[in-house]
A = this chain, B = another copy of it.
């Protein structure tokens, strides 16, 4: 760590913000952690849990005093926070975030910061269908991948310092442009979420006592993604709109091909499809596939 974080402000103390507070405090990375956010109950809880030391009376004043600011909220709320703090944040302070999409957030920051930009986009792959500071844990980021999304305007020392913080709390980082990040997570995360939600609708359409009894663990696992903050997902859909639509349209093509294979009773083609998928899925998850991992 080249830079002491001394005073840190976390805006949004839910699962991610709360876990970040616990993690940096446990590692002694921060002298003093201030929490800010909409929900007084969450802030009180975060302070009780030790994720923050102080509840901000005024968020802009807290940010002024901070050498590091961490924004963790639904994407559009992060965009609004960036607009609100940009005029007051110290020009040497580091600002990063945990937003699920990056292009919208980074472009707001670049519009408001003078060059070089001290805002560094982050996206920790440590989400959960659980939300709320009550699930926060200092180990949340251990072994997780964090996407770091600088542009050619981002201050390179700021990038390194943010990377150092993530490494210090156990995460691995990967650098990727905001645009490429959003294209990839559209397919690895956002389209799967929308699809999981629609699978629940498909079952709901034939809801009955028998339907509920026959809904098993397979459906439960494959739709667990759907059980997460609706506001967060609305914001993701709004800020990664074109990529998600592109992914859904591509998915529809696959769907049509499969309906056609079924209509043709083409069992060889279906078998080949399933085998290919099992093989590729192993390259994605390999040994990480245990249900309890």
Interface flag for A55 (CB, 8 Å)? no
A168-183 CB contacts (< 8 Å) to partner B: 174, 176, 180-181, 183
Interface flag for A158 (CB, 8 Å)? no
Give the chain B neighbours of A278 by CB distance below 8 A: 226-228, 230
In the assembled complex, 21 residue pairs joining A and B whose CB atoms fall closer than 8 Å, in A order, are A176-B210, A187-B203, A187-B205, A188-B211, A188-B219, A192-B218, A192-B223, A200-B281, A203-B280, A221-B221, A222-B222, A222-B223, A224-B291, A231-B271, A233-B274, A234-B267, A234-B271, A244-B262, A245-B259, A245-B263, A255-B255
Q: Are A195 and B195 in contact (CB under 8 A)?
A: yes
Q: Are B221 and A238 in contact (CB under 8 A)?
A: no
Interface flag for A258 (CB, 8 Å)? yes
**Interface size of A as a range:** 35 or more
How far in angstroms is the closest Cβ of chain B from A15?
A: 14
Give the chain B neighbours of A195 by CB distance below 8 A: 195, 199, 222
Give the chain B neighbours of A276 by CB distance below 8 A: 201, 204
Given A202-B187, A259-B248, A280-B200, A270-B237 contact (CB < 8 Å) = yes
Residues of A within 8 A of B (CB): 125, 127-129, 145, 147, 174, 176, 180-181, 183-185, 187-189, 191-208, 210-228, 230-231, 233-234, 237-238, 241, 244-245, 247-252, 254-256, 258-259, 262-263, 265, 267, 270-271, 273-278, 280-285, 288-289, 291-292
Given A174-B214, A254-B201, A289-B227, A189-B219 contact (CB < 8 Å) = yes
* Neighbour of A226 across the interface among B204, B245, B281, CB < 8 A: B281
- Across the A-B interface, give the 5 residue pairs with the lowest CB-CB distance, nearest first: A230-B274, A125-B216, A198-B254, A234-B271, A200-B277
How far in angstroms is the closest Cβ of chain B from A200?
A: 5
A195 to B194 CA separation, bound complex (whole angstroms): 12
Given A241-B262, A248-B259, A252-B256, A277-B180 contact (CB < 8 Å) = no
* Neighbour of A202 across the interface among B212, B215, B254, B258, CB < 8 A: B254
A185 to B201 CA separation, bound complex (whole angstroms): 14
A190 to B193 CA separation, bound complex (whole angstroms): 18
Q: Are B289 and A292 in contact (CB under 8 A)?
A: no
Most B Cβ at <10 Å: residue of A192, A262, A263: A192
Q: Are B224 and A221 in contact (CB under 8 A)?
A: yes
A222 to B187 CA separation, bound complex (whole angstroms): 12
Beyond A234-B274, A252-B252, 17 additional pairs, beta carbon < 8 A: A125-B214, A127-B216, A184-B210, A188-B214, A188-B215, A200-B277, A220-B284, A222-B223, A224-B291, A233-B274, A234-B270, A238-B265, A244-B262, A249-B259, A252-B256, A291-B291, A291-B292
